[in-house]
Amino acid sequence: MNMPFAAALRRASEETRAQNLSEATRLIQAALGGRPKVDASAADALTRPAALLSSRAGTVEANDAGQSRPTARPLGEAVSRLRAGKMTPDAFAGLPGMASVGAQARTRPSVPDGARFDARVFSCAAGSRSYKIYVPASASARPRGLIVMLHGCTQNPDDFARGTGMNEVAESNGFAVAYPGQTRSDNANGCWNWFEPKHQRRGAGEPAILAGLTEAIVAEFRIDPLRVFIAGLSAGGAMAAVMGETYPELYAAVGVHSGLPTNSAKDVPSAFAAMRGNGRAQSSTGRARYPGRTIVFQGSADSTVHPSNAARIMDAATPDAASIVTRRAAAGGSRRRGAAVTVVADQAGEIVAELWLVDGAGHAWSGGHAGGSFVDPAGPDASLEMMRFFGCETTTS
């Protein structure tokens, strides 16, 4: 890379707030390995199908709502608690954007008439996991697609469904949503084991379980295999990245929210180093690459997973000779935080990756619902934007 990730992202965000989009684009390109700069006319010519471009994306003035707040509990203390097996939701209290931490959903998410939110168990040779599946009333016999949602540490399927609001987005688009649950016996804090080599490869461990679960749902509901996606938050986002790399034929696109790149850690100490932005090199032969399309959400003030991880994920998802454009995006009303949005297109002009760097947001699902944990209701709606990026409508009922 030609410049530090963190510095590039910070400066690019500042330039977009000042509406200096050309300079912001240059900085992002430098962070993504110095790929050729595309001029303004070429940027305007990028292929942006309506289904892939947010109606909320555009040049806007910055606001003050996205300013970060002091951290009440340093990351070091959270790390110590995790090492001791004491990482409860309150361990992150006080981190920017974490107002709803500790408010883990205690009730089942609401389910509209005709829809289902069933509890199940999937088992295979690699192991078993319980999961929840949302089957929309709008397409109960044969959903139009499937999104697999991987929760973060200390969360559970009900909490994650409630906080992200993905069931509501899926209902409007006729999608099923699966929420696998990590067991405390497999990880004391309920984290997906993205940092262990045995869970980073195809055909073994958690990747094999999650892939098998996905394939079973696709077969049962006769879902179009080209409309199968996976997304996650934090440890779940890191595992979603693993799944995108190890099972590229299974997932058409990946959504990573506040996550980490594949193979950035090999054990607990290196996992914490990666979270601080000091992850290990992807490989000795060159940068890693995710074969599938990728959308990344990251809070610029995240004190738990360093924003440089988002740039590394984007680097892996960016093809050679790509066109890269940075723009501002904001939502009205209660969506008070703006975002610097980097859009990457391949040589054919098709959008293959997006990065949403949310102003002042911490370690939380952007645009989430206050009924769940690790949510930031003030941010752009990550669930809507991921569904849009996956190639679907973004209306809600």
Give 67: exposed, middle or buried? Use CB within 10 Å, 0-12, 13-18, 19+.
exposed
Instruction: Give the per-residue pLDDT at 93.
Output: 38
Angle at 203 between CA 201 and CA 207, to 5 degrees: 60
Instruction: Give the per-residue pLDDT at 17.
Output: 61
Q: Phi and psi dihedrals of 325, rounded to 5?
A: -130, 135
Instruction: Give the per-residue pLDDT at 246.
Output: 96
Instruction: Give the per-residue pLDDT at 275.
Output: 93
Domains of the chain: residue spans and CATH: 5-389 (3.40.50.1820)
For residue 391, the tally of other CB atoms under 10 A from its CB is 17
**Pairwise CA distance, residues 116 & 167, whole Å:** 10
Q: Phi and psi dihedrals of 93, rounded to 5?
A: -60, 135
Instruction: Give the per-residue pLDDT at 32.
Output: 60
Q: Using CA of residue 264, residue 266, residue 267, residue 270, what is the dihedral sign?
A: negative
**Global pTM value:** 0.79
| Amino acid code (one letter) for 265 | A
DSSP per-residue string spanning 168-190:
HHHHHHTEEEEEE---TTT-TT-
For residue 287, the tally of other CB atoms under 10 A from its CB is 15
Residue pLDDT, tens place only, 230-285: 999 999 999 999 999 999 999 999 999 999 999 999 999 999 999 998 876 554 33
Task: Report residues of the chain scoring pLDDT below 50.
Answer: 1-3, 36-79, 81-105, 283-287, 396-397
Pure H helices in 199-353 = 205-221, 235-246, 268-275, 308-317
SS3 of residue 88 by DSSP: coil
